[in-house]
Amino acid sequence: MMKGIFPVEKFRNVQTPFYYYDTKLLRDTLNTITREAGRYEGFQVHYAIKANANEKILPIIREAGLGADCVSGGEIRAALQAGFPADKIVFAGVGKADWEINLGLDNDIFCFNVESVAELEVINGLAEAKGKTARVALRINPDVGAHTHAHITTGRAENKFGISMEQLDAVVDSFPALPHVQLVGLHFHIGSQILDMGDFAALCNRINELQARLATRRIMVEHINVGGGLGIDYQHPNRQPVPDFAAYFACYNKHLRRYGQQTVHFELGRAVVGQCGSLITQVLYIKQGTQKQFAIVDAGMTDLIRPALYQAYHKIENITSERPMEAYDVVGPICESSDVFGKAIDLNGASRHDLLAIRSAGAYGEIMASGYNCRPLPKGYTSDELG
């Protein structure tokens, strides 16, 4: 039996909670990305591994030809293990440890996205010790706001990320004294779950101003990395399961002024994997409260933390019931009041052992799972395995 996109009978043999990844949707998404980015000369897309590093998912993304955006040594290892070529690996992050920098140097990765002069000096020293020159891009904090949750904006002056526009000249001045780092790019990222193309256009305008300023100093870099951030439709996962990549890439093509053969790099996470994943959980108990009823499920905030962390909305469906709709607070078993997936959610009438799908959970879901309450980590299965 299939209900919607889910092979429910197969699910009955799998220990809940678990993540289910629809690989056909993932491949459709990747095909759209490569087609739409391919319309423009020099557009190169990297996948932000932080969104989901499941070992069955990564090779599918690598096969589509995307590069990898990593924010830790562990992610560099995961990318290499999945077969991403080192010359398509970018390493970002505000606090890179020496061993992580050395890992990047040893593998000759494409570029380090650097966030401070202090970091530049350390990379220079470690590269010198290996007789190498590291390729670096400067992460600039463009002080551009984005219409998204305050916890996932990154490009405002108050955020910890990047080098401010004011400090940029001084940082550029430090390069002649650091012969083991080569400035090859500028890097930006203004936040996540952005659906208003105007935010990306605002970023382009800021980059244009900055490049014009650098041009007066005869500084021109090989590539501009505009980060990621394209959002997905959490309210209606079936309405447009593949995000509007056509509008996204067209926006950058229209608004970003490029110099010479400059390439444009993207680091998309959520938009690549968000809609292909669902967290499948089982109803343990229906509990009648005084004002409401609770569906207590076996998944908790340890398996999917976004609702507790960002008050994020995920659509929830009962995939084993056709009974009339009723309202439930869907809650997990963790000993925290914030362990709530949704309040007053309309579900087909639920009973013990029903399966619920918590949708749009492919990004920042499984990868953020924790063992709090000594719980086992959830496993991830693909539609290739479960049919």
Ligand X SMILES: Cc1ncc(COP(=O)(O)O)c(C=O)c1O
Task: Assess 359 for contact with ligand X (CB under 6 A).
Answer: no
Residues numbered 116 to 155 that lie near ligand X (CB under 6 A) are 154
Q: How far is the CB of 132 from ligand X (least distance, A)?
A: 24
Give residues with Cβ within 8 angstroms of 131, minimum separation 6. Answer: none
Cβ nearer to ligand X, comparing 66 with 355: 66
Cβ nearer to ligand X, comparing 69 with 329: 69
Binding mask 280-309 for ligand X (x = CB under 6 A): ------------------------------
In the chain, alpha helices (H): 8-11, 23-37, 58-63, 73-81, 98-106, 117-129, 168-173, 197-216, 245-255, 270-273, 306-310, 383-386
Distance CA(354)–CA(75), nearest Å, equals: 36
Amino acid at 225: N
Q: How far is the CB of 184 from ligand X (least distance, A)?
A: 17
Binding mask 216-255 for ligand X (x = CB under 6 A): -----------xxxx-------------------------
Q: How far is the CB of 56 from ligand X (least distance, A)?
A: 19
Task: Assess 189 for contact with ligand X (CB under 6 A).
Answer: yes
Q: Name which position in 155, 243, 269, 378 contacts ligand X (CB under 6 A).
A: 269
Beta carbons of 346 and 321 less than 8 angstroms apart: no
Cβ nearer to ligand X, comparing 154 with 318: 154
Q: What's the sign of the alpha-carbon dihedral 99, 102, 108, 111?
A: positive
According to DSSP, the residues that pair with 140 across neighbouring strands are 163
Beta carbons of 70 and 34 less than 8 angstroms apart: no
Q: How far is the CB of 386 from ligand X (least distance, A)?
A: 26
Distance CA(200)–CA(190), nearest Å, equals: 8
Which range touches ligand X (CB under 6 A), out of 2-10, 162-170, 261-269, 340-348?
261-269
Q: Name which position in 268, 319, 334, 356 contacts ligand X (CB under 6 A).
A: 268
Which range touches ligand X (CB under 6 A), out of 52-60, 266-274, 294-302, 378-386?
266-274
Give the Å distances, CA to CA, from 81 to 62, 86, 107, 385.
Answer: 11, 11, 12, 21
Q: β-strand 18-21 against 43-48: which pairing, if any?
A: unpaired
Distance CA(75)–CA(267), nearest Å, equals: 14
Distance CA(34)–CA(45), nearest Å, equals: 8
Q: How far is the CB of 8 from ligand X (least distance, A)?
A: 30
N-to-C CA span, the chain: 11
Q: Name which position in 62, 88, 270, 315 contacts ligand X (CB under 6 A).
A: 270
Q: How far is the CB of 27 from ligand X (least distance, A)?
A: 19
Cβ nearer to ligand X, comparing 120 with 350: 120
Task: Assess 277 for contact with ligand X (CB under 6 A).
Answer: no
Q: How far is the CB of 267 from ligand X (least distance, A)?
A: 4
Site size toward ligand X (CB under 6 A) is: 18
Residues numbered 15 to 74 that lie near ligand X (CB under 6 A) are 48, 50-51, 69
Q: How far is the CB of 237 from ligand X (least distance, A)?
A: 16
Binding mask 317-356 for ligand X (x = CB under 6 A): ----------------------------------------
Beta carbons of 324 and 9 less than 8 angstroms apart: no
Amino acid at 271: A
Peptide bond into 17 cis (omega under 30): yes
- Cα dihedral 279→282→288→294 (10° resolution): -10
Q: Kindly report the three-state secondary structure assignment for every residue of 169-187.
A: HHHHHCHHHCCCEEEEEEE
Residues numbered 87 to 106 that lie near ligand X (CB under 6 A) are 92
Q: How far is the CB of 332 from ligand X (least distance, A)?
A: 24
Cβ nearer to ligand X, comparing 57 with 92: 92
Other Cβ atoms closer than 10 A to 254:
10
Q: How far is the CB of 300 from ligand X (least distance, A)?
A: 23
Q: Which residues bind ligand X (CB under 6 A)?
A: 48, 50-51, 69, 92, 154, 189, 192, 227-230, 267-271, 363
